[in-house]
Structure 1
């Protein structure tokens, strides 16, 4: 299974690139069918001066990734009807999204559903009143013997399994420095082991569809979700793997849904996504797209309600990943005539030529604009410079974004503790002023060759 086992690392790499741009994390997918050239290709890629951070080699051709609008659903929508004499299985079936999909399937003709859940309890009376036979199967999809039992019981019911929707999953957000293996495994297992067990144990069945609910996190990367991005990247790769074996396979990179799902139950998460141009998908809209996707043959489709111009603002001074190049061109065309942010070169020049007092004013004004953006605050009422950023809502995720902006725009790399421990705009401005002053000293006052030990130690420290 070339590439499937390593795919989770590809998803994690997207988050490494976002949380630690200073590492220049590049993902390289070597040709599994290459005849002895892998080391040379990797060597050349390492030394190649390129901005590309996602590269795949196939038949000695270097390919790069780009996110583009899909035309899969542009045709006349097809109505999908479920078989009345067949069974359909939904993992995560008793969750908000699972029940929403189950209700829609019954409305579209499904009469026999198996909802898989670790808890085993659910509100299924409404589905039964609609004329469906619903079985809530208490099982852990990460355990192959439990999945095998469910599949065996369905086949013994004389109502064959015809479709699978893998919607199981949990979220446990944290930056890379906060995540240990236990927190990774907690998120990876339902996605990776669950999908793999379903893949193996239904491989000999004539399924009409095998749909995995992935996330936009593995498509574009989300800071603070390395485990989530890794698990969903596996689903994306598994869909391609299944199709290569002439089996049905579709991975849908969903954005957040309104009313159901983890983001819908957290106002902070909703605000965070909205501040980045990601609006929630209305349930009816999402179900309509799901119906359209069931009637096409793509292996992977992203479904997200996004304002790409606003989304790209999270990256400093056009320093967005090459993945978004095509979308950025479209966003620039749409934004023609609108005011743009101060160019990095202009800001640095102003800071270098300003008096200390003027420099501090520029830094405070700059930080007020960036804090307002990163926290999604009212632009007409920027925060006072003495306010605690933590009380305003700055957390580990938004701190990473703010730090990355500062690093790109001002060429100063502040340690994360400056943002987390009772930080304010005043304090950040002071820290930046100190770093700019040190940079000026090291550039303009080069040491002579005749330094004593104490002087040499001080220069090295600076």
Structure 2
């Protein structure tokens, strides 16, 4: 505000109001502005341009306050925005503990840690290797690769047994560098049919085990502390109340550790096709019928790699998209259509189908067509605002509802694709959905103006 030092007067002008009504004066102003921009007389504000593959460097500069003016990302054709998984390099002199690491996906995790450089593993499960051929084969395979494996039977929910486990780890003389909590027990049923004992059967290994691991590692210099949760914690499952509760509590434990400056990551796992419970029980096809498409253990462990290399995410969902099975998934888990998870099903917006324009033209009158169009507009805007249509006030200007220029552009795109009407941005940004509907209907049905 240095001009005030020279006794200048500053006026605030609401230019948005200029666009609310047609104005020849405003049209001339915009034309004059376009001329000085085209001639080069009016130069862009200071800015830095980055290509799409430099987006992380651009954001780092913004966060560090190193960029002057605007930061622009150029989206060139053929540029991938997916960050390739980076492989973490583990400490070959340290020990890594995998709870539930002798079976299923926990065993795949143990193999994965070895591929990333681990040479000393402590793998525990309730049974250990006794009467467990798969566990014995795992230990033998890893040992043949030169890995030192300590496989033992441990009830991770028993404080005395866990105390002894950590005393033995300390006696080994190596730093405990990482913990993966993969233990789980399932006992699915309706809530009304679950006894206290059945609840505890599920809660103890997952929840109590996590609490004990947390308390025993708080004073240790860990590189990572990863816990396997379930996508049931994200979406719910009426027959997995106990498992969902345990999984949600893992997230609270992780957030508390992060708050205390300690490492913690939770992976909300979906169905794994080639290891663990889904494979063992042979329900891969059943899960697919429900719209829950399985992913491979390799795909899930790629996400673990990303989190270990960039441990800035506390909770992440590791699930396959449900393309082609959206209706089945929504019938099985209705909550998936909530704004935070709607991208998993890729459903088309309500009213955003090819029948919209024929339905508008088939309406007997403009008044009959108006609610059809308004429903579509409301759905499109709600999607852009990450909310539900019932929370959109159609009588308020969309910028007052929280729509920015990008949201308005997306809404204009929907209108153009599904009605063929190209509406100027100012007429969309500063208008209510009711007003926008009237404008579209005027283009489609001139009699609606009367």
- The bucket for the TM-score relative to the shorter chain is 0.5 to 0.7
| Aligned position for 1:166 | 181
| Aligned position for 1:155 | 170
Q: Does 1:193 align with 2:208?
A: yes
Higher relative contact order (CA 8 A, sep 6+): 1
Q: Distance in 2 between matches of 1:105 and 1:151?
A: 20
| Aligned position for 1:214 | 229
Count of equivalent residues = 267
Q: Does 1:257 align with 2:265?
A: no
| CA RMSD in angstroms, aligned pairs only | 2.7
**For residues 101 and 192 of structure 1, do their structure 2 counterparts lie closer, same or farther at Cα, with a shift above 3 Å needed?**
same
| Aligned position for 1:115 | 123
Q: Distance in 1 between matches of 2:85 and 2:205?
A: 32
Q: Distance in 2 between matches of 1:146 and 1:223?
A: 33
Q: Distance in 2 between matches of 1:178 and 1:272?
A: 23
The match for 2:285 among 248, 266, 271 is 271
Q: Does 1:125 align with 2:135?
A: no
Q: Distance in 1 between matches of 2:273 and 2:324?
A: 22
**For residues 220 and 312 of structure 1, do their structure 2 counterparts lie closer, same or farther at Cα, with a shift above 3 Å needed?**
farther
| Aligned position for 1:86 | 94
Shift of 1:210: 0.2
Structure number with greater Rg is 2
**For residues 118 and 338 of structure 1, do their structure 2 counterparts lie closer, same or farther at Cα, with a shift above 3 Å needed?**
farther
Q: Distance in 2 between matches of 1:318 and 1:180?
A: 24
Given that 2:237 and 2:333 are in contact with CA atoms closer than 8 Å, whether structure 1 keeps it comes out as: no
| Aligned position for 1:179 | 194
Given that 1:308 and 1:327 are in contact with CA atoms closer than 8 Å, whether structure 2 keeps it comes out as: no
Secondary structure in 2 matching 1:234: helix
Shift of 1:98: 1.5
| Aligned position for 2:409 | none
**For residues 251 and 318 of structure 1, do their structure 2 counterparts lie closer, same or farther at Cα, with a shift above 3 Å needed?**
closer
Q: Distance in 1 between matches of 2:89 and 2:351?
A: 42
Given that 1:258 and 1:264 are in contact with CA atoms closer than 8 Å, whether structure 2 keeps it comes out as: yes
Given that 1:115 and 1:134 are in contact with CA atoms closer than 8 Å, whether structure 2 keeps it comes out as: yes
Secondary structure in 2 matching 1:210: strand
User: Structure 2 stretches of 5 or more lacking a match?
Assistant: 1-80, 130-134, 357-450
Q: Does 1:105 align with 2:113?
A: yes
Q: Does 1:281 align with 2:289?
A: no
Q: Distance in 2 between matches of 1:333 and 1:282?
A: 30
Q: Give TM-score scaled by structure 1 length.
A: 0.54
Secondary structure in 1 matching 2:183: coil
Secondary structure in 2 matching 1:212: strand
Given that 2:98 and 2:182 are in contact with CA atoms closer than 8 Å, whether structure 1 keeps it comes out as: yes
**For residues 275 and 125 of structure 1, do their structure 2 counterparts lie closer, same or farther at Cα, with a shift above 3 Å needed?**
same
Q: Distance in 2 between matches of 1:180 and 1:190?
A: 17
User: Structure 1 stretches of 5 or more lacking a match?
Assistant: 1-72, 341-462
